[in-house]
Amino acid sequence: MAAEPERAREAECGGERDGGVAPSERTRVRRAPQRARYDRETVEAILDEGVFAHVGFAVEGRPFVIPMVYGRRGDVLYLHGSPASRLLRAGRDGVELCLTVTHLDGIVLARSAFHTSVNYRSVVLFARAVPVDDAAEKLEALRAVVDHAVPGRWSGVRGPDETEFRRTLVLKVPISEASAKVRTGPPVDDESDMTSDAWAGVIPVQLAYGEPLPDPQLRAGIEPTPDVAGYRGPGSPA
């Protein structure tokens, strides 16, 4: 299950450094660099398909990693939650954050334990967040989060009232120091293992969305709207 190094038969994933996410020394992918991507399009596509970002921060050198929902507008992500949240307080106070979004695409079964692997797409984003105090931007950020989870949902639900709005802290996270890492394709075995009797290949993995389950307290006669009935996963507009 060791991931690297692997031979050139692995699907090459670029390594190009165009686009606008400005890789830094910190975002440069060191392990399996042939899997690295730094273009904004790839980074944004991976972010837009995610529901949770795993948000890391350190307090007195101790790391914390918390799953958080988010939304995107252009080149920023928005996080939100209670002003009492340790993560949001730390972020508001300018602590460095690391947000990682990962999609599992397949279990890669090689002929050897060493080359057993996984197909995945991930983004690692480093940033300092900024609290969003402007009311209009804050409302738009909350809309971005709801519409990220279920595109189009915001316009069909009651918006935040004054108390809810005040009780929600919103952070803006610039997408300016990020890298993506992508593994695709079949296993990459050693030449000497190709005569193995072991089955080799990939078990594809994806998130599956089931039929919407109505709230037991849903009023009679209310049918799912198209954004719900036709739900195909999260997404944020460009």
Instruction: Measure the CA–CA gap between 197 and 175, rounded to whole angstroms.
Output: 46
Please list every residue from 205 through 224 that binds a second copy, using CB under 8 A: 205-219, 222-224
In the bound state with a second copy, the residue whose beta carbon lies nearer, of 133 and 215, is 215
Q: Rounded to 5 degrees, what are φ and ψ at 66?
A: -125, 130
The region of 14-22, 39-47, 110-118, 172-180 touching a second copy under the rule CB under 8 A is 110-118
Instruction: Measure the CA–CA gap between 48 and 58, rounded to whole angstroms.
Output: 26
Quick one: which of 40, 34, 88, 47 has its CA closest to 66?
Answer: 88
In the bound state with a second copy, the residue whose beta carbon lies nearer, of 9 and 18, is 9
The region of 13-21, 33-41, 79-87, 130-138 touching a second copy under the rule CB under 8 A is 79-87
The region of 10-18, 38-46, 94-102, 172-180 touching a second copy under the rule CB under 8 A is 94-102
For residue 160, the 8-state DSSP code is P
Cα angle at 204 between 200 and 209, to 5 degrees? 165
Look at the block and give the residue holding tokens 């105090």. 133
Three-state DSSP at 91 gives helix
Instruction: Measure the CA–CA gap between 161 and 50, rounded to whole angstroms.
Output: 28
In the bound state with a second copy, the residue whose beta carbon lies nearer, of 44 and 71, is 71
26 counts as binding a second copy under rule CB under 8 A: yes
In the bound state with a second copy, the residue whose beta carbon lies nearer, of 40 and 115, is 115
User: Of 25, 61, 162, 220, which lies in the binding site for a second copy, with binding defined by CB under 8 A?
Assistant: 61
Chain centroid offset of residue 2 CA: 23
User: Of 14, 39, 49, 52, which lies in the binding site for a second copy, with binding defined by CB under 8 A?
Assistant: 52
Please list every residue from 177 through 206 that binds a second copy, using CB under 8 A: 186-187, 193-206
Burial of 41 (0-12, 13-18, 19+ CB in 10 A): middle
Min CB(74)–a second copy separation in Å: 19
Min CB(145)–a second copy separation in Å: 5
Please list every residue from 119 through 148 that binds a second copy, using CB under 8 A: 120, 122, 124, 126, 142-143, 145-146
